[in-house]
Structure 1
Amino acid sequence: MSGFAPTSIVLDFLRRRHVVAICVLVLSGLQPSQAPPQPAPPVRLHWHGGDEPITPMPSAPALDPRKVKLGERLFSDARLSRDNSRSCSSCHDIGTNGASTKRRDIGLDGKELPLNTLTVFNATHNFRFGWDGRYRSVEADVTASLVSPRIMGSNLAAIAEKLDLDPAMRVGFLAAYGRGPDAGDIVDALASFEKTLVTPGSRFDRWLAGDKTALSPEELNGYREFKSLGCASCHQGVNIGGNLFQRHGIFYPLASPDPVILRVPSLRNVATTAPYFHDGSAPTLDDAVRKMGKSQLNATLTDSQVKAIVAFLHSLTGQYRGAQVGGEP
């Protein structure tokens, strides 16, 4: 949330009836002025040349193609797990939605993981990683998954040893890094690949870029509702979320009570990533929108409001390698 003047700012997104969220940014180091106090100018959000709270998804960054190719190979390599039973793609299916269709995926111990699997698509644009936002970089998130006892259950040294026994892998690492498989290079290659997993080209992105025919009247109405109700107070920016923390269940319980504070998820490709919420308890977008309205806005949304917002959310599906994510029409 850069670009604000160095002062204390309270963004109050009271649109109609309810205060949805308040973000307070305080930058220290201001010196007291001797001039008489002046009224603060109205705060306006500007995103790359426009007043919309959402900005288009950029194309994938230009990274070393050898590292990206190696990272893609590693992403689907089951040797990254302790018992060679699963790979990153076991839970993050790049061929569909970058996640899975399960309420919660199954851990190495055969039991459900505590949280719903987040999509890996566009994750690089989040300001923190994971539902609780404990990781600050793609590399830290990758490492945590590899060593987690319930996810991959391995360690980087053991992974490097297994990969070093594979002549083809040694060739791939030599081409990308000038040496054989190494713990740091394994993480770097996976992170390089994940940084390319962006999905620009949604119909909403086309509308933002000036194509006024890209959205239907109902989708535009849904976007207006999305903003006026206050959804955009938490879901904004390039990832339509992913850039702040928020408490869930503000007015009414939303889902499982823990964790209380969550990193706001991205709504990019949200129509493809059911089920919803951190516990996977909302099976459909319709259900999720209604529950969010009640829990976070203290509003009982009408059927027409829900239908329009869901229509708008479908316009957020982008493209990966020339095809729409999740096979969306």
Structure 2
Amino acid sequence: MKKVLLLLFAFLYAIANDFTPSLGVLYDEKKAELGKKIFFDRRLSDNQDKSCETCHNLYWDFSGTIRSSLYNDTINPPTILSVALNHIYFKNGSAKNLHHQVTQSITSNMQLGIDEKTMTSRVASISEYKNLFSKIYQNGITFDNIVDSIVEFEKALTTTSSRFDKYLMGDENAMTNEEKKGLNLFKDIGCVACHNGINLGTNLMQQLSFYQRVFNGEDLNDNMFEVYRVPTLRNISRTAPYMLDGSITQLKDAIKHVADTQLMHKLSDDEIELIYKFLLTLNGEYPRILK
């Protein structure tokens, strides 16, 4: 009975949150432009050999991630596009807001690997940054201000005006009949239970084989009950590879895999094509700050 209630709660949560169009996020332009410089600056990592953009590519193919399966054989970086719409950050949900996410990304040995004091002194040693921070922040260069500028840049990376957004706002012609069928199928087979809300994900944690274990009558309270953040589906066709380990490179293969393993639903080739066409409508416009 407890398992059934958990499953019912997941569906009720999805119905309550369903979908919301992305209309953008307010941000401070001067701070965002400063944060953009820092985001691309390799000098501001521990060994001065990588930047935030190393894992979150924004120009070569506009993905907000990297195309190789893993970074340093350990990380499949999530896309940075529309990150300000997230409610949970990192696969283990360890950060609850953008400020915490940026702080962890700077100081983590798995990422930039530079401590707060060193980061602050290194930024202060660069005359361009010294001038810019003094103009934008009353107290000049501090670690919190460095983080704040990157946060403002990340807010500016919110993509809007996807065809799905236009459809949600009442434009029936924004999506084709096949794309609408894909949306209905997306709802009918249960994808919406995890991928809902404004970012179609990143608002809850889920156990990877939750439905499979429920229907098999397995215990959900043992040590195997590991939960991970549900990823966003916005711009999904741009953000390969897929899965936590980056093991799937093609979106249609990812659709089939998730339906098989998460929903225990065998999709036909035609059904995969319909959901694929719906997911293509989630591509938003290029953020103004990158133009």
TM-score class normalised by the smaller sequence: 0.7 to 0.9
Q: Which one has the largest radius of gyration?
A: 1
Q: 1:300 pairs with 252, 266, 274, which one?
A: 266
Distance 2:98 2:138 in 1: 23
Aligned 8 A contact 2:86 2:203 in 1: yes
For 1:76-155, what aligned pairs fall within 5 Å after superposition? 76-95=40-59, 96-106=62-72, 112-113=73-74, 115-155=75-115
Aligned residue for 2:21? 56
Aligned 8 A contact 2:259 2:266 in 1: yes
Secondary structure of 2:9's match? strand
Matched letter for residue 19 of structure 2: I
TM-score scaled to structure 1, two decimals?
Answer: 0.78
Matched letter for residue 280 of structure 1: G
Q: Are 2:249 and 1:275 aligned?
A: no
Post-superposition Cα deviations, 1:109-149, rounded to whole Å, max 9, x if no partner, equal: xxx12x31001111111111011111111111111111111
Post-superposition Cα deviations, 1:151-192, rounded to whole Å, max 9, x if no partner, equal: 111112111111112111111101111233211111111111
Aligned 8 A contact 1:103 1:275 in 2: yes
**1:259/1:313 CA distance change after superposition, 3 Å:** farther
How far did 1:64 drift? Answer: 2.5
Q: Are 2:190 and 1:224 aligned?
A: no
For 1:22-41, what aligned pairs fall within 5 Å after superposition? 22-23=8-9
Aligned residue for 1:71? 35
Q: CA RMSD in A?
A: 2.7
How far did 1:320 drift? Answer: 2.1
Matched letter for residue 38 of structure 2: L
**1:249/1:24 CA distance change after superposition, 3 Å:** closer
How far did 1:294 drift? Answer: 0.9
Secondary structure of 1:262's match? strand
Does 315-324 or 152-161 show the bigger shift?
Answer: 315-324
How far did 1:44 drift? Answer: 9.8
Distance 1:165 1:219 in 2: 53
For 1:188-199, what aligned pairs fall within 5 Å after superposition? 188-199=148-159
Distance 2:290 2:138 in 1: 36
Distance 1:164 1:244 in 2: 38
Post-superposition Cα deviations, 1:38-81, rounded to whole Å, max 9, x if no partner, equal: xxxx999466xxxxx211002231x3222111111111111220
Does 180-189 or 298-307 show the bigger shift?
Answer: 180-189
Aligned residue for 1:179? 139
Q: Are 2:287 and 1:321 aligned?
A: yes
Matched letter for residue 23 of structure 1: F
